[in-house]
A and B are shown apart, each in its own frame.
Chain A
Amino acid sequence: MSLPPLPDSAIDLGVHASDWRAAVRFAGNALRRSGATRDSYTERMIQVIDEFGAYIVIAPGLALAHARPGPDVLADGLSVVTFAEPVVFGHPHNDPVSVVVGLAVSSPDAHVTCVAELANIFNDPQAIPALANASTADEVWRVIGAPELPQDLSPVR
Chain B
Amino acid sequence: MKIVAICGAGVGTSGILKVNAERVLERLGLSADVSASDVASLATTGADAQVILTSPELVERIPPTNADIVVVENYFDLNELERKLEDAIG
A-side residues, CB < 8 A to B, are: 48, 51-56, 58-60, 64, 66-69, 91-94, 103, 105, 108, 111-112, 114-116, 118-119, 122-123, 125
Interface size class of B (residues with CB under 8 A): 20 to 34
Taking a contact as CB atoms under 8 Å apart, the answer to whether A119 and B19 are in contact is yes
Answer whether A122 and B76 are a contact pair too, CB < 8 Å, given A103-B12, A111-B15: yes
Taking a contact as CB atoms under 8 Å apart, the answer to whether B76 and A52 are in contact is no
Taking a contact as CB atoms under 8 Å apart, the answer to whether A68 and B9 are in contact is yes
Taking a contact as CB atoms under 8 Å apart, the answer to whether A66 and B9 are in contact is yes
Contacting residue for B57 out of A54, A60, A64, A103, CB 8 A: A54
- Rounded to whole Å, the gap between the CB of B26 and the closest CB of chain A is 10
Taking a contact as CB atoms under 8 Å apart, the answer to whether A55 and B76 are in contact is no
Taking a contact as CB atoms under 8 Å apart, the answer to whether B15 and A58 are in contact is no
Taking a contact as CB atoms under 8 Å apart, the answer to whether B15 and A55 are in contact is no
Taking a contact as CB atoms under 8 Å apart, the answer to whether A52 and B57 are in contact is yes
